[in-house]
Amino acid sequence: MSSEWRRLTAPEFLDPRVFNALRHGDKHESIAEDAKTVILQGVRFTVPSPIFVPGEIVYVRLRRFFEFMRKEDWDCAEALRAKEAADRAIREKAEYERRREENRKFNLSFGFPARFTIGQKSVRSGLLENSWGDGRNKRSVYHVVLEETISIGKLYRKSGDFLCTRDPGWLKHVDRLEDGRVNCKACLQILNRYGSKR
């Protein structure tokens, strides 16, 4: 089997209409007449040594040269590509699940006494672009978003607030993330300070 396109020899005189037809489209079906010849639109194309099974379908395309690939080889290569893509998708999903679980464990490892998720400032809050003022890209900062109102000592936050900030007015522009890992320094400090396990 060869999943390479290989050179095919066109007849010395080739009807320009056939040439034009072949220029369009990715590949065209021809039929092998014998081991060294395929026929496409009544035109015979050849290879120097026997390759084809008479009657089989052979794809022909025109790039810099006329090239061919047996349909059987094309189908094999396609099946292989599809299998590789499916395997990759399975690996990526497993990797995503692993990372999500790892992040979840990390987020909970502080023993913080309230329910929360992870959130980022939304890109939709265009007005607030670069509003952190310290040069951080806000899309790379993952905050704790409280899912319940809390009052622990001096710490008071409403449900929906970031742990590091009392509602500054833009919290409707928060993207909740299932798979995030908190990395906002201010949020981490508070988690450490008020958590039971650190």
Binding region for Zn ion (CB under 5 A) = 143, 162, 164, 184, 186-187
Among residues 3 and 165, whose Cβ is nearest to Zn ion?
165
Question: Which residue has 């952190």 as its token pair?
Answer: 132
Q: Cβ 183 to Zn ion, closest distance in Å? A: 9
Q: Cβ 184 to Zn ion, closest distance in Å? A: 3
Q: Cβ 189 to Zn ion, closest distance in Å? A: 9
Among residues 60 and 164, whose Cβ is nearest to Zn ion?
164
Q: Cβ 164 to Zn ion, closest distance in Å? A: 3
Phi-psi label, residue 130: left if phi above 0, alpha if psi -120 to 50, beta otherwise? left
Tell me how far apart the 2 most distant CA atoms of the chain are, in Å. Answer: 92
Among residues 22 and 187, whose Cβ is nearest to Zn ion?
187
Give the span between the Cα atoms of 121 and 177, in whole angstroms: 11
Cα torsion angle, 141, 145, 151, 156, sign: positive
